[in-house]
Amino acid sequence: MKFFSKCLGINRTFSLICCMFWIFSPAEGKTISEVMGSRVILHCRNKSINKLIQLTWKMNDVTLFSFTPLKPLHVSPEALSLNIRMSESESQLHTLIIERAQKSHTGNYTCETNTAAGPEEQTWELIITENVDVKKWKKLVIAVAVPCVCCLILIIALAILLRACKRRTETDIHSPTAEMQEQTEDIYENCLEAANRERRRYNQPYPYKARTHNMK
């Protein structure tokens, strides 16, 4: 009897765990990975779609579209800003279409339908990745741009340094000290030249004049 009660308790615990997993398990859905710029289509399939009362598309729990038969389609500002549309054609009835997927379209999408058979929902996790070529191009641009920027900075720094040296040289040339030194050198050269002239003049022989004696 005790063994039977123990088995019954284990079975109840196992059943309770199964019920909890069933209650908290996510609704039917799947993960979709697409490349940036590609066309994404999400089909909202429902067995009782012909007996539709209301259909709602959501992205991250934010309503994008709300459709009720015989009434205008409600389009939210979020759907307009993300450039998402819902098809109303018979071939793609109630299909969510993203013409050119971008990073901003990444998220969880839900299609909620309310029919005569009861409510149902489908979920998708949409992941938008960058194109491999785009990644390579970005890496190439970075690899080329960084050395070019470093070289440009070095050239600008050298140009500024040369300009500063040139200004300093010009300032030194036109400074009062340089002018005084130049004047001193000119005076010294003039003095030497004058001394040389005097020396040459002193060493030059005087012409001899013979005396004339008056004959008496």
Tokens of 127: 């992941």
Whether residue 115 is found in the same domain as residue 183: no
Q: Tell me what pLDDT residue 187 has.
A: 75
SS3 57: strand
The answer to whether residue 207 sits within a structural domain is: no
Under 8 Å between Cβ of 140 and 42: no
The answer to whether residue 10 sits within a structural domain is: no
Q: What is the pTM (predicted TM-score) of this model?
A: 0.49
Q: What angle do CA 90, 94, 97 make, to 5 degrees?
A: 105
Question: Secondary structure of the chain: what % helix, strand, coil (to 5)?
Answer: 50, 25, 25
Statement: residue 135 has pLDDT above 90: no
Whether residue 30 is found in the same domain as residue 123: yes
Cα separation, 184 vs 176, in Å, equals: 12
Tokens of 3: 């063994």
Under 8 Å between Cβ of 156 and 62: no
Q: Tell me what pLDDT residue 58 has.
A: 96
Whether residue 62 is found in the same domain as residue 83: yes
Cα separation, 109 vs 64, in Å, equals: 10
The answer to whether residue 68 sits within a structural domain is: yes
The answer to whether residue 59 sits within a structural domain is: yes
Which of 172 and 83 is assigned the larger pLDDT? 83
Whether residue 146 is found in the same domain as residue 87: no
- Give me the chain's average pLDDT, please: 77
Whether residue 180 is found in the same domain as residue 101: no
Whether residue 170 is found in the same domain as residue 95: no
Domain hosting residue 41, numbered range: 26-129
Whether residue 53 is found in the same domain as residue 116: yes
How far the first Cα of the chain sits from its last, in Å, is 194
Q: What is the CATH number of the domain that holds 47?
A: 2.60.40.10
Cα separation, 123 vs 111, in Å, equals: 6
The answer to whether residue 106 sits within a structural domain is: yes
Kindly state the percentage of the chain with pLDDT values over 90: 34
Name the least confident of 6-15, 30-39, 164-173, 193-202: 6-15
Which among 64, 30, 54 is positioned nearest to 112, based on CA atoms? Answer: 54
- Beta-carbon count within 10 A of 157 CB: 10
Under 8 Å between Cβ of 74 and 83: no
Number of domains in the chain: 2
